[in-house]
Amino acid sequence: MGHGARWIDLLDPTREELLEDSPIELHPRALDRLVARPEAEHEPRPTLESHGDYVLGVLLVAVAVPAEDRVFYQEIDLVLTPDVALTVRKTPPGEEPFDLAEVQRACDLHGSPSTGLVAYYLVDEVAERYLQLIDVLADEIDELEDGIESWPTERVRVRLSELRHDVLHIRRTLSPTRDAARRIVDGRVDVGNNEVFDRSLEVDFADAYDKLLRATEALDISRELITSAREFHQSKIGQEQNEIVKKLAVIASLLLFPTFLVGVYGQNFDHLPELHWRLGYAFSWAVIVVTTIGQLAFFRWKKWI
């Protein structure tokens, strides 16, 4: 890189390797951060901030695995001085390491890029990954909306839960990444009297910040669509339950009069003259049939059945 600047990339380094290749003496806590193993349950918060003589950064890159329909996040840590850019890639267990070839090619186009430019292309790559990820999320929401009428209720419920979890996960990493880019745009991240991010880079970071802002807005729209789909699904379930209750009420109404009639004349009192009618049995059946048909006709007229 220009002016003696160079880029050191380490993949899952040990503490000893990091101490050997670090461009500057690191604070013990910063060193602990750089060698800490990635944990899916406790992802670090993305940031870019000054640490005295160097800039320390933490980025999370969304890596899609289309064959398995899932996404995982790979941590990339940065240590920047005016002369050296150190990147530390941390590979989650069982995953492939993130390939920095695209970032390397972009840097090579500048011949001798500065260390700040390396950071810019990394942040820009992160922003592009978020936009792609949210586009895929939007397609999945469209698929859900198309299937919400025909899919089984349990499948819709599970898919809604998965998409809601995805949105929350993306927001948890996207928002601090956007804030970190904003800090550079505002010129709040530098190393003492030396510039890591000069004015031209702040303009470049403004473009990356704009991408992250668009990703945030698209994510908000996705969240609203999921909320709308969830409300529609709940109203659909409520409507189905109302139909079931209505049918049960119709059945209960049809059985009400026959049950009453049989109950009255089934008490075996001595003074029930109707019990001694010659046509009493046939008459009771006629009343039951006529009232039942009448109720069915009324319910059909009301479109309750």
Sheet holding 54-65, edge to edge: 6-11, 84-90, 70-80, 54-65, 47-51
3-state secondary structure of 270: coil
How do residues 121-151 score in pLDDT, each as one tens digit? 999 999 999 999 999 999 999 999 999 988 9
Above 80 in pLDDT, residue 290?
yes
Q: How far is CA 196 from the centre of its chain?
A: 34
pLDDT band at 274 (very low <50, low <70, confident <90, very high): low
Residues in the chain: 305
Residue 204, exposed/middle/buried by CB under 10 A (0-12, 13-18, 19+)? buried
Alpha-carbon distances, residue 191 vs 29, 55, 84, 116 (angstroms): 18, 7, 12, 11
* Number of CB atoms found within 10 A of residue 128's CB: 16
Tell me, rounded to whole angstroms, the distance of Cα 287 from its chain centroid. Answer: 62
197 plus 251 within the same structural domain? no
CA angle 84/91/165 to nearest 5° reads 115
* 146/213 same-domain check: yes
Same domain? 280 vs 211? no
Does one domain contain both 149 and 294? no
Q: Does the pLDDT at position 62 exceed 70?
A: yes
Identify whether residues 248 and 274 lie together within a single domain: yes
Same domain, 164 and 296: no
Both 43 and 168 in one domain: the answer is yes
What residues are paired with 61 via a beta bridge?
74
As beta bridge partners, residue 9 has 87
Give the residue, 121 or 266, on which the prediction is more confident.
Answer: 121
As for how many domains the chain has, the answer is 2
Tokens linked to 164: 């809601």
pLDDT digits (tens, 9 = 90+) for 246-260: 888 888 888 888 888
Same domain, residue pair 90 and 174: yes
Identify the bridge partners of residue 87 per DSSP, sorted by sequence position.
9, 78
Q: What is the CA radius of gyration of the chain?
A: 34
Residue in the structure block whose two tokens are 């390396």? 118
Query: For residue 289, what are the domain limits?
Result: 239-301
pLDDT digits (tens, 9 = 90+) for 185-211: 888 776 655 677 777 788 889 999 999
Half-sphere exposure (CA, 13 Å, Cβ side) for 88?
A: 26
Q: Above 80 in pLDDT, residue 304?
A: no
